[in-house]
Structure 1
């Protein structure tokens, strides 16, 4: 990772650090100043805020199957999959992207959560033939979007993954198709530092080099939430639409919090969901409470993820009481900036 970060600095990358105790490096932008508009298409963004846990051993899949909200034992080698890790109370400790490798299973999650989640999982390995290691330093992750990205990636992956969360492998690494954002295809390339350094000049001939904001904004537009330190143990998966985007399997059997997650699914109409909104504000951070003007004394939800679209506007995913969304909703307090709700790219369906 150090080699890769040094290379990016030579390319004009400007870095900061997160406010968490882990002090995770953040790639802010390339060049002396951040542009007023966050790129939406035809960009390549180094994703250095995410980490990787590699699970290996004969019983690694079985162990993770017993811990996560999704089916790990039947994970196809040609696909990635969303999964959650819950507390015994059914609240999400982490949201993950998982996929098979030649040696086992890879789990991707924010670096600020990685150490604590890995330590917690390790506590439950017990006698299982499974090993968990931090694989972040051995991998580089790039987020790419747009028609130009689809074209240039064919130099390394002649056949691009077509379906959402399909995965392609080549000598250049792993390529995962992500949900479209802003009407364009997105991919994540997981590779080595050496391969990324070699490919960077070819990528940036046709793609804009961008900071993490471009990829995070695209995730918001595609309606994919991510748990952070500020939102750990705040949500049952359905509260942030996690089952609607393939993150929960209700037939796979037990895992921590499974009874509560299942009960939330089968009790009938859900009263809380995640919505997409935009707001004109100086800032909006995960965990910030939101308030309905019809009931100003108590919060009706909170920000899950947020990213600036331009100098005036922030896009966000917010968890909210659906009844409150029928009135005016404001950020931070009943006197705060107004949230303007936007359509999600998928329907909000109730349990059957």
Structure 2
């Protein structure tokens, strides 16, 4: 494995640093839970007030458009914590499916996300701590890689090195960070979202549910997500080759110079070395424990 690890946590990161790419989309109203249950891939009815889960929004063909943390903050209140999607754009798209349901969908630019490479002081697992009017605390890590994410109306300082390490930690923990060009390309199974328990194969209908369930119950998944480390700069969409033949592609990356790459590759492949843009790509293990 290359010595220069792109996922290394800075020696002295700020105690709290801004996660500028993160944003919140709010669903409020008596039909908020029913709407989310019909649209999103996970079982929203399993969420108690004060809990959260990983979830995704899929196309009718079962391709992932967005991966997010779904927080239940009240009896009729849900929050989508987005790492890569524009909440205004996503909100506009979701409103097309509201029809006669009673709910309001709105971005919450007043809520700022910040990160901390330390275990939470109050939150634990899927249980939230605090209140969004002051500060919400989420357990966003694992025993081997502890992290705390906070949502607050107060902004926090920027720390570029710490924020880049956070992105790398996302990939290490199996959380895809999809750029726009990689949306609608992959099924939940291909991205390894079962690692996060981010979709349900037992609940009722939602966009893409039939394809997701068929893949699960009939065992037709032919590709999987692997975490690769590359001692070179690579970009999402780059081909992964083996023995001179392209066999898969990169869904997302993190790091500068040496990169971590989440790649989707065939389950059946040889033991030959993997390459991305001519550079050797080494398989590194995921860190378990981010499922919620």
Shorter-chain TM-score: what band? 0.7 to 0.9
| Cα distance in structure 2, aligned partners of 1:230 and 1:65 | 27
Contact 2:145 2:287 in 1 (8 A): no
**Which residues of 2 match residues 234-249 of structure 1 at below 5 A?**
234-249=185-200
Q: CA RMSD in A?
A: 2.5
Q: Residue 133 of structure 1 aligns with which residue?
A: 106
Q: Residue 39 of structure 1 aligns with which residue?
A: 9
Q: Residue 61 of structure 1 aligns with which residue?
A: 33
Q: Residue 180 of structure 1 aligns with which residue?
A: 142
Match of 1:300 among 247, 251, 255: 247
Residues 230 and 45 of structure 1, relative CA distance in 2, 3 Å threshold: farther
Higher relative contact order (CA 8 A, sep 6+): 2
Q: What's the CA shift string for 1:55-89, capped at 9, x where partnerless?
A: 01100110011000001133122321111101010
Residues 315 and 168 of structure 1, relative CA distance in 2, 3 Å threshold: same
Contact 1:276 1:317 in 2 (8 A): yes
Q: Give the aligned length.
A: 280
Structure 1 unaligned blocks of 5 or more: 1-35, 155-159, 348-352
How far did 1:111 drift? Answer: 5.0
TM-score normalised by structure 1 residue count:
0.73
| Cα distance in structure 2, aligned partners of 1:179 and 1:274 | 20
Residues 66 and 42 of structure 1, relative CA distance in 2, 3 Å threshold: farther
Contact 1:52 1:107 in 2 (8 A): yes
Structure 2 unaligned blocks of 5 or more: 1-5
Contact 2:50 2:73 in 1 (8 A): no
Q: Residue 167 of structure 1 aligns with which residue?
A: 128
Say yes or no: does 1:77 pair with 2:28.
no
Greater Rg over alpha carbons, structure: 1
3-state SS, counterpart of residue 116 of structure 1: helix
Q: Residue 272 of structure 2 aligns with which residue?
A: 327
TM-score normalised by structure 2 residue count:
0.87
Q: Residue 157 of structure 1 aligns with which residue?
A: none
Residues 302 and 314 of structure 1, relative CA distance in 2, 3 Å threshold: same
How far did 1:41 drift? Answer: 6.8
| Cα distance in structure 2, aligned partners of 1:61 and 1:346 | 29
Higher helix share: 1
| Cα distance in structure 1, aligned partners of 2:136 and 2:25 | 15
Match of 2:68 among 96, 107, 110: 96
Q: Residue 240 of structure 2 aligns with which residue?
A: 290
How far did 1:50 drift? Answer: 1.6
Residues 40 and 220 of structure 1, relative CA distance in 2, 3 Å threshold: farther
3-state SS, counterpart of residue 263 of structure 1: helix
Residues 213 and 58 of structure 1, relative CA distance in 2, 3 Å threshold: same
